[in-house]
Amino acid sequence: MKKIGFIGLGIMGKPMSKNLLKAGYELIVLSTSKSSGELAAAGAALADTPKAVAEQADLIITMLPDSPQVKEVILGKDGVIEGAKAGSIVIDMSSIAPLASQEVARTLAEKGVRMLDAPVSGGEPKAIAGTLSVMVGGEQDIFEQCRDVLLAMASSVVRTGGIGAGNVTKLANQIIVGINLAAMSEAMVLAAKAGVEPELVYEAIRGGLAGSAVLDAKVPLVLDRRFEPGFRIELHKKDLGNVLATSQQYDIPLPLTSTVLEMMRKLEEDGLGASDHGGLIRYYEQLARVEVSR
């Protein structure tokens, strides 16, 4: 499976595409993307529409913002479904609602096209390094066919169940990350307001039970007041919205997730939605009238 179509060359998709090229795969990308010229210079072929991408590829990967964009690109006019051949595979690596993944998969199946939902975790740094974690939903045999392709972009690739299971797993991931960000923010703001150096508090607790990947990834950036996006607040807000929509379908109360979502909505209203989700701390800083820095 050497010829791959890739649609969605944003913060995550562009470095993921580059890693596929480095691994020796032939790549077809949309010429309408802002990054298409850069990918073409690296060896990718160009196509004008998702349909045209799918016509030239046996495997089509999408990496898009949310469910509506995925449905439009795959199922809409000049979409992937119009160009994909029976027996080809679509891997949607976007973070979307699980029921949307299942809907798209059912429609593709009517044309003999198979699908995996395979959202990722790790943000831009791990997308660049090729060390993403991929959570996969779909049939085992399709997963086995695509494992090596996914490992060209990731260090961890785990199938968690049938179609939609990948996005359920990603929603669980986003709950944990979001609540960790809120806990980190509360702790660092408390330290700063109490007159204790936040950096020293971080160094003291990071090796104990409070230590986490979130703490190590985000506290140094906060201390340096660096909020350029690795993963934007507005996208995390979107994911938590999908969490709550899914939880309502299963009648599951998620009070902590609901609270973090409201914080992110407030920051977006304040014009901070495009900043990194570690910038959640600014919600607490505004309340406490303190800034956490070195």
Please identify every residue annotated as catalytic.
170
Residue type, 61: I
What residues are paired with 47 via a beta bridge?
30
> Position of tokens 């340096």?
224
Residue type, 123: G
